[in-house]
Structure 1
Amino acid sequence: MTTKKYETYYVPAQSHWPIVGAIALFLIAIGAGSYVSNLNSEEGGGGYILLAGIALVIYMMYGWFSNVINESMSGKYSHQLDNSFRQGMSWFIFSEVMFFAAFFGALFYARTFAVPWLDGAGNNAMTGEVLWPEFTAQWPLLKTPDGTTTTAMGWYGLPLINTILLLTSSITAHFAHIALEKNKRPQLKLWLGITVLLGLVFLYFQVQEYAHGYSEEMQLYLTSGIYGNTFYLLTGFHGMHVTLGTIMLIVMFFRVLKGHFTPDNHFAFQAASWYWHFVDVVWVILFVFVYIL
């Protein structure tokens, strides 16, 4: 009679990192809300609170992930714990899908229902006459009720270049993953380095795009009505996720240089790859519905 062998499941000691992360997110929420609500005034210190929260998040992530890396490299993790990591990352990406679904839903509602209703569509003939008599349904809305005008951001130029960059980076990330599975370290370093570079170039071009949007020529601001709101919220939050994904890939790159990961044990790299492919897919959807349609 044989006995079934059970794997050990490593349970880490109590950690202070979760409460540090909670405080950091609280500061970010308070700081961001205060900063946005006082964009047109010199009141409040929301920007400083936001920066403090971001700094605390960086500190928390560095400390917490350092602990996880050390535990993994010391051989404390088993196959069962690896499955837990996979489930956790899968649910995290699912939560991110729902996050962007909410913003795309708001865009869909504004374009499909709110804008036509203001022009009297359906049974709302009096709505437009009462709220905005001179309103004409169109998208993007380039004029607000107070007469403020703006300019739509075209899909060509920087947005198209950024789309090509992200799609290319998804391919190079896949090549890096294949090289890791085949234990080809030089190719792994090359393709992963190119992926990181493409991510950094994307972020640089997005900063240039925002500078162009806020120029006197375009006057496309966060306060430029529903179009400005949805444009900067969707592209801005996506840019934040690209920043996070780029940081993850940079960490993976340095770990590769230190000799971490094997063809049979590299879920951290795989998780970063999953996340990068996710932000690429979101950008393609965003490019179509925010820039083109």
Structure 2
Amino acid sequence: DGMVMFIMSEVMFFMSFFWAFFHSSLSPNVEVGGNWPPCGIRSPNAFSVPLLNTWVLVTSGVAVNYANASLKAHDYDYGSVISMIFTIMCGMLFIALQYMEYHGNSFCISDSVYGSAFYMLTGFHGAHVIFGTLFLIVTFGRMWLGHFLSNRRFGFEACVWYWHFVDVIGMPVYILAYVWGSGQLFDWWYSYWNGDVWWVKFS
């Protein structure tokens, strides 16, 4: 199927960015002081906006799945319409929150290989969220016009598949770029074993 092949090609794109991030972070070179993140760069707080954005995507995945189930059950009013509107709002909220996060970051894409790897990975995912939100809006318009009243609903299901790809791939992006790649996972572990209040430390 063409949509499946398209999604698999997108997965390969993400794998290349994952590998670039791993390659740079597992063996940081002398140009970044042998540290990851490099000295002088304050990585985003993994347990604030990025965590909220991850939950927004997971919630939107549940909502779009409910919309698909409602459409299959011939619920063309409350279930499918409200769920699609909620999913679109979640996509827009994610975009707004990521913009706020980028605006508040203390580094840019040209600040060492860390900035390049971070923004390429998270920005590539953000671009997919933007495209997926537009896909949802177009699909919602078609649903409103009654294009999916019969059993020919592949356009709707393709949109659901793509959005599930976006929310599922968002979890490894969050874990790699924000939790593991920022070093905050190790800080949390160290604070936990030393009895520090880690949630205050990261606030």
- TM-score (normalised: structure 2): 0.84
Q: How many residues align?
A: 179
- What is the aligned partner in structure 2 of residue 248 from structure 1? 135
Letter matched to residue 284 of structure 1: M
1:1-293 superposed matches below 5 A: 87-112=1-26, 114-115=27-28, 118=29, 135=33, 137-142=34-39, 149-186=40-77, 187-213=79-105, 218=106, 220-262=107-149, 264-293=151-180
Q: Deviations over 1:59-107 (max 9, x none)?
A: xxxxxxxxxxxxxxxxxxxxxxxxxxxx110110010000010000111
Distance 1:245 1:101 in 2: 19
Please say which of residues 228-237 and 258-267 is displaced more in the overlay.
258-267
Deviation at 1:170, TM superposition (A): 0.2
CA RMSD of aligned residues (A): 1.4
Distance 1:272 1:251 in 2: 9
Q: Deviations over 1:133-188 (max 9, x none)?
A: x93x332223xxxxxx3211121221111011000000001000000110101110
**Is the CA contact (8 Å cut-off) linking 1:182 and 1:263 kept in structure 2?**
no
Distance 1:110 1:212 in 2: 24
**Is the CA contact (8 Å cut-off) linking 2:109 and 2:115 kept in structure 1?**
yes
Distance 2:63 2:172 in 1: 20
Q: Which runs of 5 or more residues in structure 2 are unaligned?
A: 181-203
**Is the CA contact (8 Å cut-off) linking 1:173 and 1:195 kept in structure 2?**
yes
Distance 2:23 2:9 in 1: 21
**Is the CA contact (8 Å cut-off) linking 1:93 and 1:275 kept in structure 2?**
yes
Deviation at 1:286, TM superposition (A): 0.5
Distance 2:3 2:38 in 1: 38
**Is the CA contact (8 Å cut-off) linking 1:231 and 1:290 kept in structure 2?**
yes
Which structure's residues are more often helix, by fraction? 2
Percent same amino acid among aligned pairs?
36
Distance 2:160 2:150 in 1: 15
Q: Which runs of 5 or more residues in structure 1 are unaligned?
A: 1-86, 119-127, 143-148
**Secondary structure of the structure 1 residue equivalent to 2:38:** coil
Distance 1:161 1:94 in 2: 27
Distance 1:226 1:236 in 2: 15
**Is the CA contact (8 Å cut-off) linking 1:223 and 1:229 kept in structure 2?**
yes
Q: 4+ residue runs of structure 1 moved beyond 4 angstroms?
A: none
**Secondary structure of the structure 1 residue equivalent to 2:148:** coil
**Is the CA contact (8 Å cut-off) linking 2:21 and 2:118 kept in structure 1?**
no
Letter matched to residue 223 of structure 1: S
Distance 1:236 1:281 in 2: 16
